[in-house]
Structure 1
């Protein structure tokens, strides 16, 4: 069996081009990852303010009604953006759980007494 050097050169060029494209795509992914980290940091700055305000006024760390509204809204945004809404909801739930943990810690650190809101459900 003979090896055609022209075919080998074409394969090597295609592989090199594919690797260049791969590197370019990965750079874009890295840029998006960096943007996500900066956005999350900004989001948590605001949620820390919310946590301090809640603690100062004895409000509970979690707001289930708001969380439900946010999940509904973000699922719709995910669908519009062609992102799996289940993934978007899981991601938001992860973030909200961390925010609530921060709010609980802020309340504990400040010695805040939490007012428990009682919601009634109408049939």
Structure 2
């Protein structure tokens, strides 16, 4: 194989990896959406507040730490 052919093969491999990651992200986002819908239903059924500022603050801090 030439350098150009090797580069094209590597490019295809990397793009395949990106495509797999994209599919996994979409699946995870769909799962998250289903869970948040269930939380909303549970809160409505039990007359719980829709928002929880303390939880939201904790989540923002947790996610910021993960992002770093």
Could you state the TM-score of these two structures normalised by the residue count of structure 1? 0.50
Q: Which residue of 2 aligns with 1:20?
A: 9
Which of the numbers 43, 68, 76 marks the counterpart of 2:32?
43
Shift of 1:57: 2.4
Alpha-carbon deviation of 1:64? Answer: 2.0
Shift of 1:15: 1.5
Query: How far is the alpha carbon of 1:45 from its aligned partner?
Result: 1.4
Corresponding residue number in structure 2 for 1:77: 66
Query: CA-to-partner distance for each residue in 1:23-70, whole Å, 9 max, x for gaps?
Result: 101100111111111111111111111000111123332222211101
1:1-123 matches, cutoff 5 A:
13-79=2-68
User: How far apart are the structure 1 equivalents of 2:35 and 2:48?
Assistant: 16
Q: Which runs of 5+ in 1 are unaligned?
A: 1-11, 80-123
| RMSD over equivalenced CA pairs, Å | 1.6
What are structure 2's unaligned runs of at least 5 residues? none
